[in-house]
Amino acid sequence: MQAIVETLFDAVYLISVITIGILMIRGSKGNLQFRLFGWMAVVLGAGDAFHLIPRAFALCTTGLEGYTAALGMGKWITSVTMTIFYVLLYYVWRKRYHVKGKGGITAAVYVLAGVRIALCMMPQNLWLSGDAPLSWGIYRNIPFALLGLLVIVLFYRSAKAHGDKGFRWMWLTIVLSFGFYIPVVLWADRIPMIGMLMIPKTCAYVWTVLIGYFAMKRECR
């Protein structure tokens, strides 16, 4: 039952976010903000596919234990693409609110993203092993969480200052995604049921993508 339900959920998620991303790229009508948002959605779905497709295949065949390397490689790729996702979201913020300058914030975004990706590349992560250390899971997620926090603050302040109803909940979708993700990083290996929090985390990202899509439909007529 888990294999069927999880596979269907993941398939709907991947098809939805990638399709919405392509629709945004094609329907942005030269609006760079929404074109970036479309690419952001495609990066999200394509990156997650590297982990979710092997996982679905494993669940529907011999089980997760036989696909440790493939699943680890998928997590590795997803960790990098999720970092790129937040860099693109930062540029969506800049375009939407016509931000000029702010070199310090841009530098912080690139430093945090660079440190996160560098940490993901370290061999100590043991991505392809079934005994990946929790300590390195924490190390690589510290700059990622700080990057997410920075983007949360930027969207919260700007949406409030501009009375932006279209993006007024963008900050909350990111808060929810991290709120569901962090317990998985910390405790899922010891308490497998906590891994179920990845479902609402995924729903939060779908909400993020839908915010951009519906804003485009209203503003690019």
Task: Return the pLDDT at 105.
Answer: 97
- Report the 10 Å Cβ neighbour count for 98: 8
CATH number for the domain whose boundaries are 2-219 = 1.20.1070.10
pLDDT band at 60 (very low <50, low <70, confident <90, very high): confident
CA–CA gap between residue 48 and residue 75 (Å, rounded): 8
pLDDT band at 83 (very low <50, low <70, confident <90, very high): very high
pLDDT band at 93 (very low <50, low <70, confident <90, very high): very high
Task: Return the pLDDT at 211.
Answer: 97
pLDDT digits (tens, 9 = 90+) for 98-116: 999 999 999 999 999 999 9
The arithmetic mean of pLDDT across residues 147-169, rounded, is: 97
Domain boundaries, the chain: 2-219
H runs (alpha helix) in the chain: 2-27, 32-59, 68-96, 103-121, 134-162, 170-187, 198-219
- Report the 10 Å Cβ neighbour count for 127: 21
**In this structure, are residues 77 and 126 in contact, taking their beta carbons and an 8 Å threshold?**
no
Q: Is 188 helix (H, G, I), strand (E, B) or coil?
A: coil
Task: Please say if the pLDDT value at position 66 is more than 80.
Answer: no
CA–CA gap between residue 182 and residue 194 (Å, rounded): 10
Task: Return the pLDDT at 67.
Answer: 81
CA–CA gap between residue 51 and residue 70 (Å, rounded): 8
Contact partners, residue 1, CB within 8 Å, separation at least 6: none
pLDDT digits (tens, 9 = 90+) for 171-221: 999 999 999 999 998 888 788 789 889 999 999 999 999 999 999 999 987
Task: Return the pLDDT at 13.
Answer: 96
Task: Return the pLDDT at 215.
Answer: 96
pLDDT band at 84 (very low <50, low <70, confident <90, very high): very high
The arithmetic mean of pLDDT across residues 74-86, rounded, is: 96
